[in-house]
Amino acid sequence: MEMLAEDRKYFEDFARLAHEQQARLEDYYIQIQRSLRNEKGGVTSLRPNELHGLQLALAHIQPDESCLILGCGCGVEAGWLLANGVKNLTGLDVAEGLLATCEKTLGIKTIRGDMRKTGLPEKAFDVVITHRSLHHMFYPFQALEEFARISRRKVMILDEPVRSWLKATFRRFSKERIISAANIYEYQFVREDVHRYMAFNGFEVAATSRYWETMQSLKANRLLNAFAPRAGNRFSAIYRRFGAGQKG
């Protein structure tokens, strides 16, 4: 797909500003995200059509397992998991303001950190979860490697966008951009590539699902998922460390 002129200008300006600040491109991008996320205050609620991945994850979390939510924001995912019986939760995010809100609202421990390089010890948590955050990373596969490093048992990649010919065709005709109005990049995943990468890092697929999540009504989502789920625009996957056993 050809790069639109406005996207090219964005990347050129982005590289220039990063150079002026003597920052690596990906580190400068994280700085931008941190600023934007603090200014906006974060997502404060989940729509019903944004729960598909969390519902899949819930069936694979044992009561005694420690869980780290990467890109936790102000805690909407953590709040949902707490309400559904998952108690041993920690949140990690780049934005200090969102973490403060998360701690104050939910009373859970939080860590300020970058998903690509958390600084946490190897196998620090039983379960590592990211929900609707990984596709904002410039180098998401670098983050996946870190997820695998710090997880003792499971990695859960939830509600991420899927690359598909249908979406590519729509974007070509609509001239929809890969850069949002907030200057946030959106990576489009090939699900099988994620599976292979996680296998190289010692994890196998325990459960996976592909489905539609549109900005339209729940009824539209139900119709699309009833007749064409395999062409869906989102996927979730639960990965289990090799040799961790079949339970969960």
Query: What is the Cα 53 distance to its own chain's centre?
Result: 11
Give pLDDT tens digits for 185-224.
778 899 999 999 999 999 999 999 998 887 556 677 778 7
More confident site: 41 or 126? 126
| Averaged confidence pLDDT in the chain | 86
Return d(Cα 98, Cα 113) in angstroms, integer. 12
DSSP characters over 161-221 = EB--HHHHHHHHHHT--SB-TTS-B---B-HHHHHHHHHHTTEEEEEEEEE---SS-HHHH
Give pLDDT tens digits for 87-96.
999 999 988 8
| C-alpha closest to that of 98 among 37, 181, 176, 21 | 37
Query: Cβ distance 54 to 77 under 8 Å?
Result: yes
Give pLDDT tens digits for 131-147.
999 988 888 999 999 99
Q: What is the dihedral of CA 194, 161, 101, 28, to 10 degrees?
A: 70
pLDDT at 165: 67
Indicate the pTM of the whole model.
Answer: 0.86
Computed on alpha carbons and rounded to an integer, the radius of gyration of the chain in Å comes to: 18
Report the share of the chain in percent with pLDDT over 70.
85
Superfamily for 5-241? Vaccinia Virus protein VP39 (3.40.50.150)
Query: Cβ distance 14 to 21 under 8 Å?
Result: no
Cβ contacts of residue 204 below 8 Å, gap of 6+?
198, 239, 240, 242
pLDDT at 35: 75
One-letter amino acid at 72 equals C
More confident site: 246 or 52? 52
Report the share of the chain in percent with pLDDT over 90.
53
Least confident of 21-30, 102-111, 131-140, 209-218: 209-218
| C-alpha closest to that of 68 among 148, 169, 164, 140 | 148
- 39: buried, middle or exposed (CB in 10 Å: 19+, 13-18, 0-12)? exposed
pLDDT at 70: 97
More confident site: 103 or 24? 103
| C-alpha closest to that of 238 among 25, 67, 12 | 67
